[in-house]
Structure 1
Amino acid sequence: MKKLFLLLTLLAFFNCKEGTQTEEASKGVSTTYNISFENAVHHEANVQATFTNLKSGEVEFRMSRTSPGRYALHEFIKNVYAVKVTDSQGNELETTRPDPYSWKVNGHDGTIKVSYTLFANRGGGTYAQIDETHAHLNIPATFMYAPSLANDEMEVTFNVREDLNWKIATQLKHKDGNTYYAPNLQYFMDSPTEISNHGVRSFDVNGQTVNLVLHHNGTDAELDEYFEKVKKVVLEQEAVYGELPDFDYDNYYFLACYIPNASGDGMEHRNSTVVTSTRSLADGGMERNIGTVSHELFHAWNVERIRPQSLEPFDFEEANMSGELWFAEGFTSYYTNLILCRAGLMEPENYVRGLSGTFNYVWNSPGRQFFNVIEMSYQAPFVDAARSVDPVNRGNTFISYYSYGSALGLALDLSLREKNLNLDDYMKFVWNTLGKDEKPYTIPDLQKALNEYAGEGFGDTFFNNYVHKSDMPDMKRLFKTVGVSLTQDDTKARFGASVRQGKIYGYTSIGSSAYEAGLENGDTIIQLGDYVLSDDLDSNTIMTNFKAGDVAKVVYERLGNKRETSLTFKSDPSYSISINENASQEQVAAREAWLRKKSK
């Protein structure tokens, strides 16, 4: 009898549990949106949100404070007004405001309807822009949401301006008409939408469709030409990983806006990316805009699916801090131009010479004495389009994790190639072991993967010295292995500050000639050595007359007082990077293996 009772109890439990799961699954769509753009000329949209299947009691709805792909707070609520809240019958509900970002409601009937006006006029990857050229919508900047319904399905209807020939482009699943679907809040928030009179070009890659959606004022011929460049980028990136990601709904979208009212930006998403620029294809954009396309597509693997644990799930209520951005953003930055070179869209000589900007910024920055690359990544909430009014000393203390990570990607690639390995295959190894099955990673996971790929101890050496510490490898030797020269001019003098019309702008660089002489931001140089500044003789011209080791008297003005100091010119630490025309056949072969086309 005890066994029978136990069996019946277990059956009752599982039947109850199954019934609960069925009930949860049958909820269906709990959030619906309707957005229209009658007042687009004044950058306004009218939004109606309906939240259903709500439990009794207090319910919260809010605007996001962050956006996928960004790490700082952006406070999207500041552009929302004329908020009205009712129940399903249209009865107005009383709300409270516990903080600037949210509302709380009691006394509803299981449904809450919220209407509001949105002002939007920044056409990039983070915000939204509404005018008579388009409705360019970043979802967190556009729609309120109910956190309690975050796991439920959602639908949105875009009431397009047919008088403006608007069409809809988005990674959201098309349902019918102008209505689109998302399985949950995370997917919805990650789905930017471009509504405009745009052109579309598509091509098939192993059963999946890659779409270039271009809103521009150019010609179809320009779109066709640019699309060929995009295709080359896609195929070269596929060659790095051996395959495209498994895109949801078998589609990937480049949402490109190259129009005068846009703002230059790029923002990756799971199955799409926003790429915006004021440069038209006819006015330099054909060559200069493609780099953003390359960078953002690489994120479809590296950050969207090779995903840091620290960003999973993405938090819409707080800043998102990640110590892995040097890998997620930085290694992606390393591949940005390398892919263009391999695709034949950048000459090898220009690619190699172009490495010098990032190299000098990272290698010569005083910031490495304060923070390693992980700690630089932690600062993203303060620098990733974040705003502050108080002065900061970031020129001396911060190195962008984009640049720092890119420099480390270069260093790791050349170090691996010295062992007849390469970064492509390491990225592919990380993809196959972590990204493909979307297992969020930590820094120890990356280190373990490098040891497994390159041999025991290799990853420990690299991570311990260059990731957890701020050392740098012998790049002159590593460059030499691929027939590239790394040189310096020890006789050239460096002042150590930016000077315009005699005035120092920005804090002087720690350890530089100007810093050691006690010069500072805001000082105005009157005399340098025997040279007196005038309208005909500027400070930058004067400085070319000095070489490293020279000592000069500096007369300057600070806060209305004339002062004098002595300055010893130090050598310019800048490096030049170029292809070595006298490289051996072995070095040339190694360079070609590094830079040549990989796609079939």
Structure 2
Amino acid sequence: MKAKFFLFPLMLITSLGISQTNAYEISFENAIHHEAKIRATFPNVSSDTLTVRMARSSPGRYAIHEFAKNVYAFKATDGMGNPLKITRHDPYSWKLSDHDGTIKINYTLFANRGDGTYSQIDETHAHLNMPATFMYAESLEDRKIEVMFRLREDLNWKVATQLPLVSGTTYSAPHLQYFMDSPTEISDFTLREFEVDGQTIQLALHHNGTNEEADAYFEKVKKTVFAEKEVYGELPDFDYDRYTFLACYIPNASGDGMEHRNSTVLTSTRSLADGGMDGNIGTVSHEFFHAWNVERIRPKTLEPFDFSKANMSGALWFAEGFTSYYTGLILCRARLMTPESYVDGLAGTFNYVWNSPARQFFNPIEMSYQAPFVDAATSVDPVNRDNTFISYYSYGSVLGLALDLSLRQNGLNLDDYMKLIWQKYGKKEIPYTIENLHQTLNEYAGKPFGDRFFNSFIYDSQMPDYKSLFESVGVVLKQHSEVPYFGVDAELDGDGHGEIKGNPKMGSPAYEAGLDKGDILTNINGENFPDGIEFDAFISKFKPGEVLKVDFKRFGLLKSTYVTLRPSTMYTIVAKKNETLTKKQRNVRKEWLKLK
């Protein structure tokens, strides 16, 4: 059993005993209406006032999530059951005073979103993310925690979690950080597990399918685990020698994935029989890669995680983006995706990143800073992210691709760079800075190479020479100048009109012509849109350079403008047939995709 994550030495924990343990109990009598009853006891409170609060953020998420909004029927007493004085100064905390050294709280939680951030309680399961579920006392964050899950035996519920078992249905955590990072799935799940180098990898699968489907999917999970282990040369040392996939593939879930130290949440509405066998395995690939990259290869800016505010990091292009690069690559290497499908699939992300005007505003580090505004964040006012934001997942992914292919032109590769980062920082659990990533690339590939990559593509937002990089592995990158480019997405209504649904891209023909989101296109060159045709298909009958007269309505008023079509800026990415490759291209592609 590994115990290096404890903040307290083991002997000190033993000497403090149960009196220094914060205890929780949660029950689900009213699961049908999505409620849980939660009780907590904080013993030996030495301060006159103890503040308990609900979190405002969750590990792996970077935006604010006001979990306190789902808490009600709050009560607080001392050890003898006497009511305490409760003072509220903000929406997410309760100040408790006039106690006798012991504070007990009771409250009801409403929870009905099953994903990687929130909790969901119903008669199919209790899907618990701890920050969305349990109040905590920040001043007591170093204390041990025990939590008892009162199961619905009538529903055949059992517990899957990375928390170690104490006894019965009581589990423990060495301190608050570990507790909050430990999602728990309580349901009638199917369990599969296998051993790797003395450690157990578990799949706790909550689904409505068959055992045969579970077995087939588990084989895909195993192949993914082994392919990712090969990148780093070893698995992390999981606490308690166990890693658990918490998979909920049920109609009432919300699609998501969220990594944690020794487990990951996987949620999807797709059943294994309805496309989920292949559709869900990508999330497995992404989240398990995080067991190295982000959980142990950890940005210094996210340590320690602050549950009271949004957590910002400039390293998400690496932590999330490079992980996204490996997501599909791993599936290809594990033979869960064909090389042709993998290469073809690069085009969507590639076009999204390199056709975005947002690079003129932010580099990858600054894009990462936007996470608190986009990572499942909510707002009601319109934004201009079509023109100002590129997902750090996608941006980092195509930069990871560029770095990998660039290194391979020099007889190196991204796998070995990641191994070096792992050995220097992840395995030792030393949080890194972006400067550390830069210095390590200099160490691995030479200072001129490392400086050029970071100065051009990380500290700046230039585009790598992908044409030559792809050519090195026998892949063709091509733009189609004969295809016209208008510059907006329009949804046709069947009455010959079309509504512009998104902000036109800066610099596009539609943008320059003064069209905007919400405009209703009534005709082009005097012609209405025929029934059953897509907008892009209608535009495709014209040629680049043609000038189109566009009539439209804005705020109920008829207007006209002229749009000059340009050649399409979209790329296609196609792998050449193996027999057409040079020997060098064939060898580099073979190493890149780990082909036999």
TM-score range, shorter chain: over 0.9
- Answer yes or no: is 1:285 the counterpart of 2:283: no
Return the alpha-carbon distance in structure 2 between the equivalents of residues 81 and 559 of structure 1. Answer: 44
Q: Out of 356, 364, 387, which is 2:355 matched to?
A: 364
Give the corresponding residue for 1:26.
16
Give the corresponding residue for 2:548.
552
Q: Out of 512, 528, 535, which is 1:532 matched to?
A: 528
Give the Å deviation of 1:483: 0.7
- Answer yes or no: is 1:43 the counterpart of 2:39: no
Q: Cα–Cα, structure 1 residues 508 and 25, in superposed 2: closer, same or farther, change >3 Å?
A: farther
Give the corresponding residue for 1:424.
415
Return the alpha-carbon distance in structure 2 between the equivalents of residues 108 and 277 of structure 1. Answer: 45
Q: Cα–Cα, structure 1 residues 270 and 538, in superposed 2: closer, same or farther, change >3 Å?
A: closer
Is the Cα contact below 8 Å between 2:39 and 2:106 reproduced in 1?
yes
Q: Out of 464, 468, 471, which is 2:459 matched to?
A: 468
Return the alpha-carbon distance in structure 2 between the equivalents of residues 536 and 214 of structure 1. Answer: 42
Is the Cα contact below 8 Å between 1:486 and 1:578 reproduced in 2?
yes
Return the alpha-carbon distance in structure 2 between the equivalents of residues 282 and 446 of structure 1. Answer: 42
Return the alpha-carbon distance in structure 2 between the equivalents of residues 467 and 186 of structure 1. Answer: 31
What TM-score, normalized to structure 2?
0.95
- Answer yes or no: is 1:518 the counterpart of 2:508: no
Identical columns (%): 63
Give the corresponding residue for 2:592.
594
CA offset digits 1:391-446 (Å, max 9, x no partner)? 00000000000000001100000000000100000000000001001100010000
Q: Cα–Cα, structure 1 residues 418 and 78, in superposed 2: closer, same or farther, change >3 Å?
A: same
Is the Cα contact below 8 Å between 1:31 and 1:52 reproduced in 2?
yes
Q: Out of 332, 356, 380, which is 1:389 matched to?
A: 380
Give the Å deviation of 1:526: 1.5
Q: Cα–Cα, structure 1 residues 536 and 80, in superposed 2: closer, same or farther, change >3 Å?
A: closer
Is the Cα contact below 8 Å between 1:35 and 1:47 reproduced in 2?
yes
CA offset digits 1:273-325 (Å, max 9, x no partner)? 00010000011100000000000000000000000000000000010000000
Give the corresponding residue for 1:256.
247
Return the alpha-carbon distance in structure 2 between the equivalents of residues 254 and 597 of structure 1. Answer: 28
**417-426 or 100-109, larger mean C-alpha shift:** 100-109
- Answer yes or no: is 1:481 the counterpart of 2:472: yes
Give the corresponding residue for 1:137.
128
1:380 alignment partner AA: A
Any residues of structure 2 matched to 1:77-88 within 5 Å, and which?
Answer: 77-88=68-79
Give the corresponding residue for 2:500.
504
Return the alpha-carbon distance in structure 2 between the equivalents of residues 539 and 111 of structure 1. Answer: 67
2:500 alignment partner AA: I
Structure with max Cα Rg: 1
Give the corresponding residue for 1:207.
198
Return the alpha-carbon distance in structure 2 between the equivalents of residues 169 and 127 of structure 1. Answer: 17
2:45 alignment partner AA: L
Give the corresponding residue for 2:574.
578
What TM-score, normalized to structure 1?
0.95
Give the Å deviation of 1:246: 0.5
2:258 alignment partner AA: M
Return the alpha-carbon distance in structure 2 between the equivalents of residues 537 and 285 of structure 1. Answer: 31
Give the corresponding residue for 2:432.
441
Give the corresponding residue for 1:324.
315
Is the Cα contact below 8 Å between 1:30 and 1:149 reproduced in 2?
no
Is the Cα contact below 8 Å between 1:330 and 1:405 reproduced in 2?
yes
1:512 alignment partner AA: S
Return the alpha-carbon distance in structure 2 between the equivalents of residues 495 and 592 of structure 1. Answer: 39
1:561 alignment partner AA: L
Return the alpha-carbon distance in structure 2 between the equivalents of residues 433 and 108 of structure 1. Answer: 48
Return the alpha-carbon distance in structure 2 between the equivalents of residues 401 and 203 of structure 1. Answer: 34
Return the alpha-carbon distance in structure 1 between the equivalents of residues 550 and 13 of structure 2. Answer: 79
CA offset digits 1:133-165 (Å, max 9, x no partner)? 000000100000111110110000000000000
Return the alpha-carbon distance in structure 2 between the equivalents of residues 535 and 588 of structure 1. Answer: 48
Q: Cα–Cα, structure 1 residues 564 and 446, in superposed 2: closer, same or farther, change >3 Å?
A: same
Give the corresponding residue for 2:260.
269
Is the Cα contact below 8 Å between 1:65 and 1:75 reproduced in 2?
yes
Q: Out of 297, 301, 310, which is 1:310 matched to?
A: 301
Give the Å deviation of 1:513: 1.0
2:221 alignment partner AA: V
Give the Å deviation of 1:123: 0.6
Q: What SS is found at the alignment partner of 1:473?
A: coil
Give the Å deviation of 1:58: 1.4
Return the alpha-carbon distance in structure 1 between the equivalents of residues 132 and 538 of structure 2. Answer: 50
- Answer yes or no: is 1:236 the counterpart of 2:260: no
Return the alpha-carbon distance in structure 2 between the equivalents of residues 323 and 442 of structure 1. Answer: 9
Give the Å deviation of 1:583: 2.2
Give the Å deviation of 1:557: 1.1
Q: Out of 379, 388, 406, which is 1:415 matched to?
A: 406
Give the corresponding residue for 1:61.
52
Instruction: In structure 2, list runs of 5 or more residues that go unmatched.
Output: 1-7, 493-497
**326-335 or 455-464, larger mean C-alpha shift:** 455-464
Return the alpha-carbon distance in structure 1 between the equivalents of residues 333 and 534 of structure 2. Answer: 43
Instruction: In structure 1, list runs of 5 or more residues that go unmatched.
Output: 1-17
Give the Å deviation of 1:539: 4.0
Give the corresponding residue for 2:95.
104
Give the corresponding residue for 2:369.
378
Return the alpha-carbon distance in structure 2 between the equivalents of residues 92 and 357 of structure 1. Answer: 59
Q: Out of 166, 175, 178, which is 2:169 matched to?
A: 178
Give the Å deviation of 1:53: 2.1
Q: Out of 544, 561, 564, which is 1:568 matched to?
A: 564
Is the Cα contact below 8 Å between 2:489 and 2:535 reproduced in 1?
no
Return the alpha-carbon distance in structure 2 between the equivalents of residues 535 and 355 of structure 1. Answer: 33
Return the alpha-carbon distance in structure 2 between the equivalents of residues 492 and 550 of structure 1. Answer: 12
